[in-house]
Amino acid sequence: SSEVLEAIENVIQGVLQSLAQKKAPVLTVANRADWRNIEFKDSVGLQMIPRCTTKLIRSDCPQSARRFALMLKILSMIYKMVQSNTYATKRDIYYSDTLLFGSQSVVDQIINDISCMLKIPRRSLHVLSTTKGFVAGNLSYTEEDGTKVNCTCSATAVTVPSNVQGIKNLSSHAKFILIVEKDATFQRLLDDDFFSKVSPCIMITGRGIPDLNTRLLVRKLWDSFQIPIFTLMDADPHGVEIMCIYKYGSVSMSFEAHHLTVPSVKWLGLLPSDLERLNICKDALIPFTKQDENKLASIKKRPYIACQPLWKKELEIMAASKLKAEIQVLTTVSADYLSRVYLPNKLQFGGWL
pLDDT tens digit sequence for 216-229: 999 999 999 999 99
Q: Is 126 helix (H, G, I), strand (E, B) or coil?
A: coil
Query: What's 113's domain CATH number?
Result: 1.10.10.10
Whether residue 272 is predicted with pLDDT greater than 90 in this model: the reply is: yes
CB under 8 Å to 93, separation ≥6 — which residues? Answer: 74, 77, 101, 107, 111, 127
In residues, how long is the chain? 353
pLDDT over 90 (residue 255): no
Alpha-carbon separation of residue 189 from 1, 182, 192, 260 (angstroms):
42, 11, 5, 26
Among residues 128, 154, 170, the one where a domain terminates is: 128
Domain count of the fold of the chain = 2
What is the span of the domain harbouring residue 18? 2-128
- Single out the residue in 93, 128, 163 at which a domain terminates: 128
For residues 123 and 139, state if they share a domain.
no
Q: Please compute Rg for the chain using Cα positions.
A: 22
Say yes or no: 266 and 286 in one domain.
Answer: yes
pLDDT at residue 124 greater than cutoff 80 = yes
Whole-prediction pTM: 0.82
Residues sharing a CB contact under 8 Å with residue 97, sequence separation 6 or more, in sequence order = none
What is the reported pLDDT for 227? 92
Based on the fold, state whether residues 91 and 196 are members of the same structural domain. no
- Among residues of the chain, what percentage have pLDDT more than 90? 32
What is the predicted pLDDT for the residue at 141? 92
Percent of the chain with pLDDT over 70: 99
With vertex at residue 204, the alpha carbon angle to CA 203 and CA 207, rounded to the nearest 5 degrees, is: 135
Active site residues: 95
> Cβ contacts of residue 349 below 8 Å, gap of 6+?
none
Instruction: Using the predicted structure, report yes or no on whether residue 120 has a pLDDT greater than 90.
Output: no
- Statement to judge: residues 182 and 301 lie in one domain: yes
pLDDT (average), residues 187-206: 86
**Are residues 254 and 107 part of one domain?**
no
C-alpha distances (whole Å) from 27 to each of 70, 127, 223 are: 12, 21, 36
* Phi, psi (deg, nearest 5) at residue 258: -60, -25
How many angstroms separate the most distant Cα atoms in the chain?
A: 74
One domain, residues 79 and 210: no
- Which among 128, 143, 160 is the end of a domain? 128
Q: Are 299 and 238 in contact (CB under 8 A)?
A: no
Q: Are residues 268 and 211 in the same domain?
A: yes
Q: What's the pLDDT tens digit per position in 292-317?
A: 899 999 888 888 888 888 989 999 99
Confidence class of residue 348 from pLDDT cuts 50, 70 and 90? confident
User: What's the confidence (pLDDT) of residue 330?
Assistant: 87
At 226, give phi and psi (nearest 5°).
50, 45
In angstroms, rounded to a whole number, what is the distance separating the alpha carbons of residues 331 and 339?
10
Q: Is the pLDDT of residue 154 over 70?
A: no
Q: Is 108 exposed, middle or buried (0-12, 13-18, 19+ CB in 10 A)?
A: middle
Of 99, 160, 165, 170, nearest in space to 127 by CA: 165
H-run or E-run covering 310? helix 309-321
Q: Is residue 77 domain-shared with residue 100, that is, in the same domain? A: yes
Q: Cα separation of 154 and 93, whole Å?
A: 33
Q: Which stretch of DSSP H or E encloses residue 312?
A: helix 309-321
Does 82 share its domain with 213? Answer: no
Domain shared by 230 and 299, yes or no: yes
How would DSSP label each residue in 4-70? HHHHHHHHHHHHHHHHHTT---EEEEE-TT-GGGEEEETTTEEEE-SS--EEEEESSSTTTHHHHHH
Q: Are 181 and 89 members of one domain?
A: no
CATH assignment at residue 324: 3.40.1360.10
Q: Do 175 and 101 belong to one domain?
A: no
Q: What angle do CA 206, 212, 213 make, to 5 degrees?
A: 75
Which element (helix H / strand E) includes 247?
helix 237-248
Confidence of residue 135 (pLDDT cuts 50, 70, 90): very high
| 84 vs 106: CA distance, rounded Å | 25
